[in-house]
A and B are shown apart, each in its own frame.
Chain A
């Protein structure tokens, strides 16, 4: 379903400079969209057009298929549904306290006092700033201000959230937190649009990318499509994303194959498998193309995980009964990633999981979970890039626990399952304190078969 759409949109500044030229875009509901282009390419102007602040010189903007009308009542509706977070938080936060700033939007929507309060509490909790609600904005750090700005928009419960350069001026951890937050909102159904000139971010995070250069749309598509076209990137004065660049260099040297587009480091690592060929004696009656089960390797022969099942595909049979096979190693009882939903949190349970589940690596996602862990003295090995690092650890046969809450649980679960499916390396994924339970903890038996997903 298309939620926002522009048709031959054009905008010229009063002094005659063109900011947007003939722009046609269709943004689908529930997607993560990135507008990528260098500074001054017209991204910010486009955003102001998308929430009705600027009126296009030509063309139109449509919300749910209905063209924008620019009378005050329709504008209110649009601005309620399309929230915009500015690049500079100081431009956006104007009330004397955090609470009052977040309450500004809901109060303008004419909600009752109780409802405004509920909206504000909820929004502040989501961004992890409930404790700072009575602080004045000038006592906050840059990352905190950004989160207040986002909470101010979230409190109005918009369908689309637009963020102009959300990560500018943030440190890496602060940036990760903001991206975690955006993923969580997206998981609950919000459509998220960001502008950025960070190609790595756009490549890794978004579902769909628009390349903008000199007020014009010069390319669009999934990140894998867009960022492969080097000519297009050159035209937009952008570079290729690092992981993709590394992968292409590796591929050129014949160390990887398959025309992949790895987005994260685990995905990149997973492509580093050259064709593994071996001479083996085969029984008679085996044909080319058959699969053979060659047994289980362990100890120093198993490189990926404690036990590896070896399957082989016969490529060519020699007359003397020997054959060339392509080996496929499959980890059994690799490590695993266990998620823990901190919405129903008990310290004892976590202690028990850590001990009985032999967890060696603990991470937390989301402000709330990090605060909880800090309070109760749970040692965290990692607090940013948690999913990627946990996958890497699981690949090395370690067991990881991720503390997280709300929509992030499902988001992480989805991400990790996707990885397992794509890579073919199996390791256990589960949520500890949900109804379906986790086989893992009940079967601490050592037999490898029981740990298959």
Chain B
């Protein structure tokens, strides 16, 4: 049953904590990480966020690594290019590749590390949010942020029906597979086209049924959203402030330090 991030978030013990507190932590991490001038602070943020996600949020460690690996791949490629092609100052490393001189300079490396650390901290912050806060908790946040009601209602319905149609699509695909619908490329294209068109028709039918279901329960054009009240506990507040303070201190003392 657990194959999407939302499922892990639903099972996380941190799900039942105050949403606003979590959002504040994430926003703080993103802002400080991006505005930091040395790579130390962002690395610290990434470490803290990963610790919270895995230890307090009980996200599976292997899954977390896998999740990080995908965007890190892109980041590292970029970082290597930055390291080789930018900056000035004394050379740290130089060699020739097929007659073309390549060198890593101190400034370039510094910049590369900064970019890497910033993107890592950003990713860790966002994964913290998506692995501990399922979509259903965020609807209340959307509502409080004064988005139009119709947008929120639509997103609630869409969220529910994503899974209904996902199930439907999977069972159609299975029905096609057992009758050799994907045995070669031509047939696969054909089958997937059929799947799409069937799903489209089913969504229209489902729309009708949804209207019926809502109507028979006295729908009057308004879906009420009930926000669960989750008070912030003293311990949580204390931990958050400790984290904020230590990050800011680190931010202040490392602003002029270069590690290369």
Contacts and interface: CB of A to CB of B under 8 A. Distances in A.
B25 to A, nearest CB: 22
Contacts of B135: 96
A97 B137 CA distance: 10
A142 to B, nearest CB: 12
A138 B164 contact: yes
Interface stretch (A17-25, A103-111, A271-279, A436-444): A103-111
Interface in B187-229: 206, 209-210, 212-220, 222-226, 228
If over half of A's interface residues share one DSSP class (helix, strand or loop), that class is named, otherwise mixed; here it is helix
Most chain A CB within a 10 A radius of its CB, from B134, B136, B139, B216: B216
Given A95-B160, A138-B164, A138-B167, A107 B213 contact: no
Most chain A CB within a 10 A radius of its CB, from B163, B210, B217, B223: B217
Contacts of A139: 1, 7, 10
A90 B212 CA distance: 13
Nearest to B209: A91
A76 B212 contact: no
A398 B78 CA distance: 79
B217 A152 contact: yes
A101 to B, nearest CB: 9
A136 interface: yes
Contacts of A94: 157, 160-161, 210, 213-214
A135 B136 CA distance: 9
Most chain B CB within a 10 A radius of its CB, from A92, A97, A99: A97
Contacts, number: 90
B4 to A, nearest CB: 10
A109 B218 contact: yes
Contacts of B136: 96-97, 134, 136
Interface residues on chain A, size class: 35 or more
A96 B209 contact: no
Interface in A293-342: none
Nearest to A92: B213
B20 interface: no
Contact of A105 (B160, B161, B217): B217
Interface string A415-441: 000000000000000000000000000
Nearest to B11: A139
Nearest to B163: A138
Given A136-B136, A138-B167, A96 B159 contact: yes
Contacts of B7: 139
A79 B216 contact: yes
The 5 A-B pairs with the shortest beta carbon distances in the complex, nearest first, are: A138-B163, A107-B224, A108-B218, A105-B217, A91-B209
21 contacts: A79-B217, A84-B216, A91-B209, A91-B212, A94-B157, A96-B135, A99-B226, A100-B225, A103-B224, A104-B219, A104-B223, A105-B217, A105-B218, A107-B223, A107-B224, A108-B217, A136-B10, A138-B160, A138-B163, A138-B164, A139-B7
Interface of B: 1, 7, 10, 134-136, 139, 156-157, 159-161, 163-164, 167, 206, 209-210, 212-220, 222-226, 228
